[in-house]
Amino acid sequence: KLAAASLELTQHYVAPVCSPTRTGLTTGRCWSRYGVTTPINERALPPDTVTLAGALRTRGYQTCLIGKWHLGSKPEWGPNHYGFDHAYGSLAGGVSPWNHRYKQGPFSVTWHRNGELLEESGHVTDLLADEAVQWIESHHQSPFFLYVPFTAVHLPLREPQPWLDQVPPSIEGEVPRHYAACIMHLDHAVGRIVDALEKAGVRDNTLLVFTSDNGGSTAANNTQPYPDDDCPAGKIPGNNRPLRGEKGAVYEGGIRVPTLVSWPGNIQPRRNATPAFICDWMPTLCELADYQPPRDLHWDGVSIASLLMKDVPPPERSIYIAGPRERTAALRRGDWKLVAHGEGSSQKFELYNIPADISEKTNLAAQHPERVEQLKTILAEYRGH
């Protein structure tokens, strides 16, 4: 239902893993500028960072985060210190679905409301959807910015039986069935939020963005050190085909994610293949909210408001994707994408024409050395920060 009413951005780029993508969304800047290229539990952002939530709050928006923060796993590093009036969910990363524990260690107890750690019963997807619906019901009379980063479909998975019962028999195996049920459960939770907007009478005045923090994964469901939650054993059946690669990689399967944008009466439902970037959302939403930065925030993203509203793309620009620890990286410019492996003199480069080769099967670096050199120069500027 939401997809049918949305603009689908078919080439929307994020980081290959979670915390970096959240950094880009929150700041409008490449995550590597903050040294964030892997999932992180230490504080990711300087205390004086101008965030998307903080910017919108100066324009009179109520700001709320419900879900996974993962930009600092201590309460004093949490979202309430970065522009959010209300925050609920996991300070750390993905959690076990029923006991809401993060990986074993100093940040395992992570479930919170406004920085106060707490214990609750219930499935994580239901708890987050419940909180979002309740918040909309009590805050819809004033402008608001609501950010709901669900933990689904992050491992570990263990879905309620009613959702497992709805999985078609053609999907076999315990973990694949839990994975399918998790997707269905998430879909229903998103629908509940949309329904709450409609019930509150604000759906037509709400810009809604649905996206993901990285590509699908094939990691094992219960081998990571999460406290026991009776999760079934086996690999997650993530599938990014026809895209190459998965979560953690800078190939398209790791960084190109489904993205829907809906605003009834303002954004026409359609598909658009203009390359877009997670760092674009801060400048875009700030433009739409008429926010004027107090200083140059050095955004790496650009406003795509004209693309959303008028189908007018921004001027050609570069999109830089830093991989984990910057040992891999990618640069997209126009139709071309440069993939870099390694560091210094040992670097190896691959070149792909993405519209012509969506699966990145044909490395064209040898045929277009001048293009490689051009993109290497731009890549080096980003890597030098």
Look at residues 122, 143, 148, 147 and name the one whose alpha carbon lies nearest to residue 52: 147
Q: Which CATH number fits domain 327-383: 3.40.50.150, 3.30.1120.10, 3.40.50.2000, 3.10.105.10?
A: 3.30.1120.10
Q: Which tokens is 94 given?
A: 């993905």
Contacts for 291 with CB less than 8 Å, ≥ 6 apart = 55, 56, 58, 59
CA–CA dist 27, 33 (Å, integer): 11
What end-to-end distance do the CA atoms of the chain give, in Å?
A: 42
pTM of the model: 0.96
pLDDT for residue 384: 78
Per-residue pLDDT of the chain (385 residues; tens, 9 = 90+): 999 999 999 999 999 999 999 999 999 999 999 999 999 999 999 999 999 999 999 999 999 999 999 999 999 999 999 999 999 999 999 999 999 999 999 999 999 999 999 999 999 999 999 999 999 999 999 999 999 999 999 999 999 999 999 999 999 999 999 999 999 999 999 999 999 999 999 999 999 999 999 999 998 877 667 877 788 889 989 999 999 999 999 999 999 999 999 999 999 999 999 999 999 999 999 999 999 999 999 999 999 999 999 999 999 999 999 999 888 999 999 999 999 999 878 899 999 999 999 999 999 999 999 999 999 999 999 987 6
pLDDT for residue 224: 67
CA–CA dist 263, 21 (Å, integer): 23
Strands 270-272 and 116-117: unpaired
In the chain, what are the domain boundaries? 3-247+256-315, 327-383
Are 108 and 102 contacting, i.e. CB atoms less than 8 angstroms apart? Answer: yes
Cα angle 154, 159, 162; round to 5: 145
Residue 236, φ and ψ in degrees, nearest 5: -70, 130
Sign of the alpha-carbon dihedral angle for 350, 351, 356, 362: negative
Residue 111, φ and ψ in degrees, nearest 5: -70, 130
Are 322 and 329 contacting, i.e. CB atoms less than 8 angstroms apart? Answer: yes
- DSSP E strand boundaries for 50-179: 62-68, 86-90, 111-113, 116-117, 144-147
Tell me: cis bond preceding 176? Omega within 30 of 0 counts.
Answer: no
pLDDT for residue 326: 85
CA–CA dist 31, 86 (Å, integer): 24
| Locus of tokens 């400048």 | 283
CA–CA dist 133, 111 (Å, integer): 18
Encoded amino acid at 313, one letter: P
CA–CA dist 82, 374 (Å, integer): 38
Sign of the alpha-carbon dihedral angle for 349, 369, 240, 280: positive
pLDDT for residue 346: 87
Three-state secondary structure of 313-348: CCCCCEEEEECHHHCEEEEEECCEEEEEECCHHHCE
Same CATH fold, 327-383 and 3-247+256-315? no
| Locus of tokens 């239902």 | 1
CATH topology of domain 3-247+256-315: Alkaline Phosphatase, subunit A (3.40.720)
Strand order in the sheet with 318-322: 318-322, 328-333, 336-341, 348-353
Which whole-number Å values give the CA distances from 92 to 100, 179, 254, in the listed order?
A: 10, 22, 21
pLDDT for residue 385: 65
Q: Which tokens is 236 given?
A: 């997650």
pLDDT for residue 226: 83
Encoded amino acid at 118, one letter: L
